[in-house]
Chains A and B, each alone.
Chain A
Amino acid sequence: MEQFSLGLFVWQLVLFIGLLLLLKKFAWKPILNAVEKREEGIKGALEAAEAAKKEMQNVTADSEKLLKEARAERDALLKEAREIKENIISEAKEQAQVEGDKMIKQAQATIEAEKKAAVADIKAQVANLSVEIAEKVIKEELSNKDKQLKLVDDMLGDIKLN
């Protein structure tokens, strides 16, 4: 207690409280407020960045989805086109077959008709020839009746119709 100095105690108390009040007004409040404001700013910025990141992810996901859809659609289209192509080709083939068959039939019919006409013609010519031969034979052989008959028989025997 001998060391205790009342004067120093009073001065310390007065000066310290004075300092406390002055610093509170001019230093601590502005410093702490500024720091708090800055911290809040940083926090806000970080949150905004986080939100932006999330949005970005959403956008990426969306575009990926779109891309996937587009790709699927393209694939579908291609598949369809391929089917159509195959259909067309097979149809065309079928048609060609049918057409060919038809043409062949026609050709055959024509050939048949031509043949018939040719046969008829040949028959007519044969008949004419026969008539002409018969005329000649008749003319020549009319004199020789036996002989003429024999000739007719021989000749008819030679001509063989199909």
Chain B
Amino acid sequence: MHQFFRTHSCSDMRYSFLSKYLVAVFVLITGIVSAQSHEGEEVEAGAHDLKTEIKEYIDHHLLDSHDFSLFSYTTDEGEHKYIGFPLPVILWDNGLKIFSSSQLEHGEGVAEVDGNYYALYHNKIYKTDAEGTIKFGAHHEGDTHSEDAFGENLVVEDAHPSNEKPLDFSITKNVVFIALVGLLMFLMFRSVASNYKKSNMPKGLGRGLEPLVMFVRDEIAIPNIGEHKYKKYMSYLLTVFFFVWIINLLGLTPLGVNVTNNIAVTFALALITYFITTFSGNKNYWKHIFWMPGVPVPMKIILAPIELLGTFIKPFSLMIRLYANITAGHVVLMSIIGLMFIFKNWIGSPLSFVLAFTLSLLELLVAALQAYIFTMLSALYFGMATEEDHH
């Protein structure tokens, strides 16, 4: 019934920098393995399937999903089993359509609501016919493959379905985690706050969290914004610091959720920074953008568009930095973990374990560092927007 899916699942590897990188890594390893192996051809073929599987797994891991599944496996009969629970799907398609993601059967089923049919393709919901057919645009080359020098199958162009895409406001796995982190933060910090009603000294949780709050205040807010104006930005800085940090840390747990590697999430955060910066900009700030003092008039004219563009680039860099750091960390980490399954010998697996372990520690640092950098730079931008004229 869903034959199309099988045929496409082999061909939907993206030709991107990412896959190039991964292919290079895998080829290198395959080379080593086959050099060491006496079985030659057989291992080569086995490793190839495994590579595809690992790559798909990594791709899948980095994506959001419409249901809350912790892991999945395939039974001997070839049936996919998922451990987890479905989440509500909320669509806007000429009216609000709400149904359970269990109807989508992890991309293997078609959901029917009010006479409309929806199916998943690459974790995105498309409007389909009753059979769940995904049509592709004219530019799509179908099953055209090219063979690269290493015998790897690569799709020349990404498959873009031409089906209509309804607006998808589903409670996805990431949304659930954002809400959970929010709830966790709320409970944590409210209990810390309520402790201060009883005594002046922090107790329990507050002992650990108060220094962090003080760090944000004394090391991030005050030096960048200034003694007199930092107070009104504290709420945002603290929230964004703890939110990014906690959610980055959760991304490192075996729960397998990545929130900050979604550009939508980092975009939302950067957008808030942009709006706060723009709305708190004082006369001096705008003067420095549109009519830079202290330079000749032609320079003022040249600088104005550059400075104006700069106001967008600054939060944009925030967005990309957080997104790229977390994504890259996860890709590299999972690739190294994947190596374990490719090297099946006594030297490779411990080596990749050590590498993965070291990298995990590094990622722990990156999780905090990215939260710090995001908060620091936000504070810096607020500081620039509110700086008084010194001339």
Contact = CB atoms under 8 A, between A and B. Distances in A.
Contact of B264 (A4, A19, A26, A27): A4
A76 to B, nearest CB: 57
A35 B206 CA distance: 11
A18 B186 CA distance: 11
Interface string A1-29: 01111111111110111111011101111
A23 B186 contact: yes
B239 A16 contact: yes
Contacts of A34: 193, 196-197, 200
A16 to B, nearest CB: 6
B265 interface: yes
A13 B268 contact: yes
A161 to B, nearest CB: 127
A156 interface: no
B24 interface: no
A2 B196 contact: no
Interface in B218-273: 231, 234-236, 238-239, 243, 262-265, 267-269, 271-272
B169 interface: yes
Interface in A26-40: 26-32, 34-35, 37-38
B196 A16 contact: no
A23 B238 contact: yes
B179 interface: yes
A106 B194 CA distance: 112
A26 B263 contact: no
Contact of B267 (A4, A27, A32): A4
Contact of B178 (A16, A31, A35): A16
A100 interface: no
A5 B189 contact: no
B157 interface: no
A12 B172 contact: no
Contacts of A4: 263-264, 267
A19 B265 contact: no
B67 interface: no
Nearest to B238: A28
Interface residues of A, number: 33
Given A8-B262, A16-B269, A30 B196 contact: yes
B182 A19 contact: yes
Nearest to B235: A24
A8 B172 contact: yes
Given A34-B200, A35-B214, A37-B200, A23 B235 contact: yes
Given A7-B167, A7-B170, A16-B269, A27 B186 contact: yes
B347 to A, nearest CB: 37
Contacts, number: 120
B196 A7 contact: no
Given A4-B263, A8-B264, A31-B192, A19 B167 contact: no
A41 interface: yes
B210 interface: yes
B186 A26 contact: yes
Contacts of B170: 7
Interface string A28-61: 1111101101100100000000000000000000
Nearest to A38: B200
A9 B267 contact: yes
Interface string A93-118: 00000000000000000000000000
Given A7-B168, A11-B178, A16 B186 contact: no
B64 A20 contact: no
Given A11-B169, A19-B243, A20-B236, A27 B265 contact: no
A15 B235 contact: no
Nearest to A25: B235
B174 interface: yes
A31 B189 contact: yes
A32 B217 contact: yes
Interface in B197-224: 197, 200-201, 210, 213-214, 217
A11, A23, A27, A37 interface centre (most CB from chain B within 10 Å): A27
A9 B264 contact: yes
Given A19-B239, A20-B235, A31-B213, 5 more contacts: A4-B267, A5-B64, A11-B175, A15-B182, A16-B272
Q: 6 tightest CB-CB pairs across the interface, nearest first?
A: A34-B196, A27-B189, A9-B264, A30-B193, A24-B235, A12-B268
6 contacts: A12-B269, A16-B243, A19-B243, A24-B239, A31-B193, A34-B200
